């Protein structure tokens, strides 16, 4: 009886190991397919030229070598942008708890350069994460940056006080150290899901040329 139980246990363990291997293989295949699709879209490949909250020029080249979580929004956004930036900041904090992981740079690019100058960005972003980098620029430069990531942007009509809302795509982009967009996170993704996804991409990451 003990021998039969031992054989049965071994068969169950072998079947479980085989199932886990197949599941991992399928997940890797799905991740590779998704990454190929993102590369074909070329999100962010055109780059951008903006300036940070200190007025220094900053472009995509300055992000190379780092894992980046990038969000487009505006400081006068009534609810969506604050929620997404809170989530972004929390995801980064969760990743920071894992000391073995490389740091993630959180970046916010405004879609409303008319109102979001360096000072406005600096005051607004310090509430979300101490390392959050804010980028702004001329209307033309901002449009180019949004277009590079295929982010939809449309300013609404102004009210009697001259105020307006900017409609835009609500997405957070994950860029790897080679500057390649590896994932896009929408409003439905939680901070925990974003952090878990980023960890997965870090673990499977292979630098270009290797």
Binding residues for Cu cation: 77, 81, 168
Q: What would you report as the CA-atom Rg of the chain, rounded to the nearest whole angstrom?
A: 21
Contact 202, 67 (CB under 8 A): yes
CA-to-CA distance for 118 and 107, rounded, in angstroms?
14
In the annotated binding site, the residues are 77, 81, 168
Could you tell me the two tokens for 13? 């363990």
CA-to-CA distance for 146 and 139, rounded, in angstroms?
11
Number of Cβ atoms within 10 Å of the Cβ of 4: 8
> Which alpha helices (DSSP H) does the chain contain, by range?
2-41, 80-96, 118-125, 139-148, 191-204
Tell me the sheet residues that pair with 172: 71, 185
Contact 59, 95 (CB under 8 A): no
Distance from the Cα of residue 194 to its chain's centroid: 8
137: left (phi over 0), alpha (psi -120 to 50) or beta: left
CA-to-CA distance for 164 and 109, rounded, in angstroms?
18
């Amino acid at each position: 009886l003990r021998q039969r139980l031992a054989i049965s246990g071994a068969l169950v363990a072998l079947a479980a190991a085989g199932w886990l291997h197949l599941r991992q293989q399928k997940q890797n295949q799905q991740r590779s397919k998704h990454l190929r699709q993102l590369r074909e879209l070329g999100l962010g490949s055109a780059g951008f030229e903006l300036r940070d909250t200190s007025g220094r020029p900053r472009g995509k080249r300055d992000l190379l070598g780092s894992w980046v979580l990038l969000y487009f929004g505006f400081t006068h956004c009534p609810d969506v942008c604050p929620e997404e930036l809170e989530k972004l900041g929390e995801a980064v904090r969760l990743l920071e708890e894992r000391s073995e992981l490389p740091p993630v740079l959180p970046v916010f690019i405004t879609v409303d350069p008319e109102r979001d100058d360096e000072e406005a960005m600096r005051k607004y972003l310090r509430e979300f994460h101490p390392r959050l980098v804010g980028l702004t620029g001329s209307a033309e430069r901002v449009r180019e940056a949004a277009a590079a990531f295929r982010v939809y942007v449309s300013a609404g009509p102004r009210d009697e006080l001259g105020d307006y809302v900017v409609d835009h795509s609500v997405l957070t982009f994950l860029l790897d150290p080679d500057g390649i967009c590896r994932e896009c996170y929408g409003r439905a993704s939680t901070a925990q899901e974003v952090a878990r996804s980023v960890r997965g991409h870090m673990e499977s990451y292979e630098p270009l040329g290797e």
